[in-house]
Amino acid sequence: MTENGWRPDPNAPIWWVDDDSETGPFHQNIDINHLQQRGPSCVPTTLAMLASTRGVPIHPDEVMPRINSQAPHTWSKFLQDYGMQLAYCNTDVRRLSHVIKELVELDDLFLVSFYSGEPPFDPPNRNGKLCTAHIVTLHRGTIIDTAKSRLSGVVSATEYSRLENPIKRVFRVVPAGYGRSI
């Protein structure tokens, strides 16, 4: 504890609400059509699925030159053309199972990135790559996974097979121009 009585609070909710305008939900009434990724293209495929909810089908190949898969601010900038952008959620390296209930209760649209394995703390090789990661869409209580076919890639969030994977990042999809964004 500091002199003024303040102490860190490790229990911040995924979506910290400062006022009623920040509660959402922002994207309850959209229809997301599952796309299956080709090769290591989960980010552009996921962004193409979201952009296509605006009535014009977008192919992942059209997304690729406009983003960097390791730079989420480029994802958010891409989505702005479709009336959306991303906002960081309060997360750390917990397992997805620890936050899935809270995300589902928010009843909205999120992008959830997680490590495909246990991430090492030090890069095992000179290129600095730790391990692979994957991103999925969480819309209300459903996970849409582009790495799987339409049959197995649209599942209840609480039944998702990768809930024990460690989280890399969580973003809430918010309207373009929203105050809390990246």
List the strands of the sheet with 84-88, edge to edge: 84-88, 167-175, 109-115, 133-139, 142-144, 154-156
What are the pLDDT digits (tens) for 9-29?
777 888 887 776 667 899 989
Q: How far apart are CA 162 and CA 6, in angstroms?
A: 37
As a whole number of angstroms, the distance between CA 22 and CA 16 comes to 8
Please state, in angstroms and rounded to a whole number, the distance separating the CA atoms of residues 114 and 137: 12
Q: What is the pLDDT of residues 71-100, one digit of tens each?
A: 999 999 999 999 999 999 988 888 999 999
Q: Is the dihedral of CA 157, 96, 151, 25 positive or negative?
A: positive
The whole-number pLDDT of residue 5 equals: 82
* Domains annotated on the chain, with CATH: 25-175 (3.90.70.10)
Between CA 165 and CA 175 the distance in angstroms is 29
Residue 148's pLDDT is what?
A: 93
pTM of the predicted structure, to 2 decimals? 0.89
